[in-house]
Amino acid sequence: MNKPKIVIAGAGYGGLITTVKLQKLIGTEEASITLINKHDYHYQTTWLHENAAGTRHHDQTRIAIKDVIDPRKVNFVQDTVTKIDPEAKKVTMENGQISYDYLVIGLGFEPANFGIEGLLDHAYNIRSINSSRLIREHIEHNFAMYNNESEKKEERLNIVIGGGGFTGIEFAGELAERIPELCKEYDIDRDKVRVTVIEAGPSVMMGFDPQLVEYALNSLESRGIEFQTNAFLKEVSADSIVYEKAEEKHTIKTNTTVWAAGVQGSSVLEKSGFNVKRNKVMVTEDLRDPDHDDIFIVGDCAAVMNEETGKPYPPTAQIATQMGFNCAQNLKALIRKESNTQKFVPDLKGTLASLGGGDAMGTVMGKKLYGKPADVMKKASDNRYLYQLGGVGLVLKKGKFNIFS
């Protein structure tokens, strides 16, 4: 048997959709498919802020890989990829090595530190199931400590969010819902708790329509979230942060800084000698590494230029998922030597941000949506992804149905 070996590294949006689609498109006699992932589950990165705030249990956010792959068609290896050798066509993991004929890299993102002092050591990240449930626990632990100390420490009740982009705003919205519950749980006055979003730009949610941004701000401020714009995070320590605004430095005492600003691709790419910028490879139009036509790159490790704007598309779940579909089709074409590969063309349906508590805002098909209709659409799009991944059964098991509250 000399059938081609396809290895998919990473079971995020891009890698897992590639796998699930590929197992339908090709037969076992055509190729062997191996999926490598650090955990035995896939998680929805776009839901993690809810796990971090504590408004949704992380088990709702993760999906057992065995529930969506067909074990007769896909080998699953639970291990962490540490290096790729494109010349030898090998992937090295913590506990082994595997060779490939075609490789799909979907190794996701890492926080970027922008040279901010103490950020990597002291800030928390909404990055994985592990890191997100730690944020939930960390906040609860600080609230639990508060009434056990005779000298009250405000840093236990202050939460700072670094970055007023998509994740920062969505996280703030969930915290606004969660904090009154936490205050009740730990006998703390709501007025003592402060959540501050520190944003370097002149506004939060840059790139969104100003009316939508205004709507989001009103929604969050009315629920007690504070904002500092044109404010630059300078230092993060275990119990405070320093930001600079209008050339003045300000300190906030806090044990909880959540970094929700810049991310970059997996550092495995740079370590493996790929030609990267912020750990992303500018891929070919069919999502391949320009230097190795047996390597596809999907999701946050891939940069795809938006020809209209002259800037790369932002790294979203929507695009990663669409990359997975494209990549599976192209792998099938290559294996069958059928035809040329297809160019990846993103189909941007819109962007919706949830604001917590059933509120949301965004644009769908060029139309602005606010409040309930936006929230319903947002949840529908989350459910649609589950449908694509695992059919109706998965939607029923992990879907979001709290749209009537």
Residue 70 lies near a second copy (rule: CB under 8 A): no
Taking the least distance from each CB to a second copy, the nearer of 148 and 309 is: 148
Residue 292 lies near a second copy (rule: CB under 8 A): no
Q: How many CB atoms lie within 10 A of CB 4?
A: 16
Residues 144-173 that bind a second copy (CB under 8 A): 144-145, 147-148
Among 85, 121, 137, 285, binds a second copy (CB under 8 A): 137
Closest distance to a second copy from the beta carbon of 211 (Å) = 39
Residue pair 121/135 in contact (Cβ under 8 Å)? The answer is no
Sign (positive/negative) of CA torsion 110, 236, 251, 182? positive
Residue 131 lies near a second copy (rule: CB under 8 A): yes
Among 21, 49, 89, 136, binds a second copy (CB under 8 A): 136
Span from 27-35, 69-77, 133-141, 300-308 in contact with a second copy (CB under 8 A): 133-141
How many residues are recorded in the chain? 405
**Which residue among the candidates 110, 155, 170, 177 is catalytic per the annotation?**
170
Taking the least distance from each CB to a second copy, the nearer of 47 and 124 is: 124
Among 82, 90, 153, 186, binds a second copy (CB under 8 A): 186
Taking the least distance from each CB to a second copy, the nearer of 140 and 270 is: 140
Among 28, 130, 211, 306, binds a second copy (CB under 8 A): 130
Q: What is the DSSP string of 218-278?
A: HHHHTTTEEEE-SEEEEEE-SSEEEEEETTEEEEEE-SEEEE-S-EEE-HHHHHTT---BT
Q: Give dist(CA 282, CA 297) in Å, integer.
A: 9
- 170 given a catalytic annotation: yes
Look up residue 57 and give its amino acid. Answer: H
Q: Give dist(CA 62, CA 288) in Å, integer.
A: 28
Angle between helix axes 210-221 and 166-186 (nearest 10 degrees) is 10
Residues near a second copy (CB under 8 A), total: 18
Q: Is the backbone of residue 333 left (phi > 0), alpha (psi -120 to 50) or beta?
A: alpha
Closest distance to a second copy from the beta carbon of 181 (Å) = 12
Which residues on adjacent β-strands are paired with residue 303? Answer: 282
* Binding positions for a second copy, rule: CB under 8 A: 129-131, 133-134, 136-138, 140-141, 143-145, 147-148, 185-187
Question: Catalytic residue numbers?
Answer: 170
